[in-house]
Structure 1
Amino acid sequence: MDAARHWAARPVRAEVVDARAQDPEDWQQALATHEAQFEEAEHDGFAVWPENEQALRMFLALRHCWRMDSMSGQYLGIERPAIESTLRLMGVKRRLRREIFEQIMLMEDAALPVLNRK
């Protein structure tokens, strides 16, 4: 659950660089800085118990499968069919799927309040 909160609270580093307003050398420097920040954000380190690693990998694989309310922009949760298909596609053994599904649901519950407070 802490890993899900950590993921949900990640900083958004979507900076738009207007290449027309800068010469190519400035633009390349801005791009290099942006890539370094992205690399740092991706590898800021978070300890995960070995028994939770597979569930975290599945949770991260589902990062683009969140349902959102079109009126409020609030996150509603992860698409349930996406969870099942991701577990199958990622080769999770049938006997482990239910346990990992339940772990993903706990992570979803932990991430939702963080995602929706932004």
Structure 2
Amino acid sequence: MNFFNASISDLCQGIIDKTVDKERRIEYLEEENKKLKDEHYKDSEMQRMEAELKKAKEDLYRGFPISEKEQEKIREWQLKHDAEKHGLKTMEQRLRAGGCCGGRYTYQFVPTSIGTIGEVICSCGEKFTFQDL
């Protein structure tokens, strides 16, 4: 009878040991899984931050608080204005008229309590408002 009881105790202890090993393995795998998820989150967060930084740098390189849409509107107005008012239809003509460093257009920003007004002023005096309240 003692042998039988010892065998059951040994068997039970073996089951307990295997269960403990399996629980440790599960905890280890859960921890590794968490690390992988954290790394993936960091990677996606890093990509988002890099895209945001790139956009901010592009805005900064323009030198003024001008959005891409506003920059495109300004460019369209300048091309139309140069052609209609000054007869400057090609890039070469526009470069000759402006000289080596440009200077035919002045950018004016007027800060107010409710926003900023932005204008481009040609040397002939004609204005184009690209930012308004």
TM-score by length of 2: 0.25
Structure with bigger gyration radius = 2
User: Higher relative contact order at CA 8 Å, sep ≥6: structure 1 or structure 2?
Assistant: 1
